[in-house]
Amino acid sequence: AQSVSQHNHHVILSEAASLELGCNYSYGGTVNLFWYVQYPGQHLQLLLKYFSGDPLVKGIKGFEAEFIKSKFSFNLRKPSVQWSDTAEYFCAVSNYGGSQGNLIFGKGTKLSVKP
Amino acid sequence: DAGVIQSPRHEVTEMGQEVTLRCKPISGHNSLFWYRQTMMRGLELLIYFNNNVPIDDSGMPEDRFSAKMPNASFSTLKIQPSEPRDSAVYFCASSFWAGGASTDTQYFGPGTRLTVL
């Protein structure tokens, strides 16, 4: 069965620090990859997605993610975080091939940015 | 576009009562998903529909849970009878699936926070 691992449960950074959140998945076939963000008290919003092509994907608010197929990883990065980036971040994988894919979510990583 | 609409936003009920959660997907979307989010288990897919037909309900925890989609613009998730362990945030999401070997981006509603006392 597919699974998604986000190894960091809670990350605490100061403003202007660089961010990298890890995401690994287990699925041997072709996948589509997503990062969603959930700000406190709000619903999930799409940050970025990878379907095909350039493995370095740029999303909203200065976020980017790199798909490394050999490592089954899709890590999220931001060079300089802001206090407003405080939120929970979810990595999700959708299997691709022949039928509609479901999203399998990781457990999430809570990011706290200190002003 | 109004986005995915869910109601109510908050629901507090007593154990044993029936609870109905409602969702209106984004107009033009043909797929609808119900998720449950808890601290312990994270975000879990309960059921999803394509063109109003339930495709996969393997995530529905037990027979107390049921979901319907009578038309393209409305879906309900019902819990009867409710139990304290059902307390969670329930999200509805919708997407447009083009068919075949494709995938789709899901857009989430604001969620319903359910508390069962």
Question: What is the C-alpha to C-alpha distance for residues A10 and A7, in angstroms, rounded to an integer?
Answer: 9
| Chain segment A42-73, per-residue pLDDT in tens | 889 999 999 888 999 999 999 999 999 999 99
Q: How do the pLDDT tens digits run along chain B, 117 residues long?
A: 679 999 999 999 999 999 999 999 999 999 999 999 998 888 888 999 989 999 888 889 889 999 999 999 999 999 999 999 999 999 999 988 776 555 578 899 999 999 999
List CB contacts (< 8 A) between A48 and chain B.
none
Q: Do A36 and B108 touch (CB under 8 A)?
A: yes
Size of interface A-B (CB pairs under 8 A): 50
Sheet strands (E) in chain B: 5-7, 10-13, 19-24, 31-38, 42-50, 53-56, 65-71, 74-79, 88-95, 107-108, 112-116
Distance from CA of B37 to the nearest CA of A (A): 10
Question: Nearest Cβ partner of A97 from B97, B101, B111?
Answer: B101
Question: Is residue A115 reached through a cis peptide bond, with omega within 30 degrees of 0 on the bond before it?
Answer: no
List CB contacts (< 8 A) between A98 and chain B.
100-101
Question: Measured between CB atoms, does A3 come within 8 Å of chain B?
Answer: no
Instruction: Write B12-16 long-range contacts (CB < 8 A, 24+).
Output: B12/B115, B12/B117, B13/B82, B13/B114, B13/B115, B13/B116, B13/B117, B14/B82, B14/B116, B14/B117, B15/B81, B15/B82, B15/B83, B15/B84, B15/B116, B15/B117, B16/B81, B16/B82
Q: Do A46 and B105 touch (CB under 8 A)?
A: yes
